[in-house]
Amino acid sequence: MRPRAETTEGARVWTHEAIARLERETARSADTHLLHLTFDGFPGIDFYFKDEAAHATGSLKHRLARSLYLYALCNGRLCEGQAVVDASSGSTAISEAWFARLLGLSFTAVMPACTSPAKIRDVQALGGTCDLVDDPAQVHARAREHGEAGACHLDQFGLAERATDWRGNNNIAESIIGQMRRESHPEPAWIVCGAGTGGTSATIGRYLRYRRLPTRLCVAEPRGGAFAEGWRRRDRSACATQPTLIEGIGRPRVEPGFLFDIVDRVCEVDDAASIAASWLLESLLGRRYGGSSGTNLVASLELAATMRTRGEGGSIVTLLCDRGDRYAETLFDLDWLGQHGIDMPPWRAALQRTLESGEWTLPGA
Q: Check residue 88 for interaction with ligand PLP (CB under 6 A).
A: no
CB of residue 13 vs ligand PLP: minimum separation in angstroms? Answer: 33
Q: Which of 126, 177, 321, 351 binds ligand PLP (CB under 6 A)?
A: 321
Q: Check residue 218 for interaction with ligand PLP (CB under 6 A).
A: no
Interacting residues with ligand PLP between 34 and 73 (CB under 6 A): 59-61
CB of residue 38 vs ligand PLP: minimum separation in angstroms? Answer: 25
How many other β-carbons are positioned within 10 Å of the β-carbon of residue 44? 14
How is the beta sheet containing 314-320 ordered, strand by strand?
34-37, 45-51, 314-320, 190-193, 216-222, 265-269
Question: CB-wise, 42 or 164, nearer to ligand PLP?
Answer: 164
Q: What whole-number distance in Å separates Cα of residue 193 and Cα of residue 46?
A: 17
User: Any idea what DSSP says for residue 323?
Assistant: B
Q: What whole-number distance in Å separates Cα of residue 89 and Cα of residue 123?
A: 9
- List, in sequence order, every beta strand (DSSP E) within the chain: 34-37, 45-51, 84-87, 107-112, 129-133, 152-153, 190-193, 216-222, 265-269, 314-320
Q: Which of 90, 158, 230, 358 binds ligand PLP (CB under 6 A)?
A: 90
Q: Which of 32, 57, 67, 91 binds ligand PLP (CB under 6 A)?
A: 91
Backbone dihedral region for residue 14 (phi beyond 0: left; psi -120 to 50: alpha; all else: beta): alpha
Task: Spell out, one character per residue from 133 to 172, where the chain touches ligand PLP: x when CB under 6 A holds, - when not.
Answer: ---------------------------x------------
Stretch that binds ligand PLP, among 79-87, 119-127, 197-205, 347-355 (CB under 6 A): 197-205
3-state DSSP percent of the chain in helix, strand and coil, to 5: 45, 15, 40
Stretch that binds ligand PLP, among 73-81, 136-144, 173-181, 190-198 (CB under 6 A): 190-198
- Indicate the residue whose CB is closest to ligand PLP: 248
Dump the DSSP string for 122-159. Answer: HHHHTT-EEEEESSGGGHHHHHHHHHHTT-EE--HHHH
Q: Check residue 173 for interaction with ligand PLP (CB under 6 A).
A: no
CB of residue 202 vs ligand PLP: minimum separation in angstroms? Answer: 8
Residues that bind ligand PLP (CB under 6 A): 59-61, 90-91, 160, 194-201, 247-249, 290, 292, 321-322
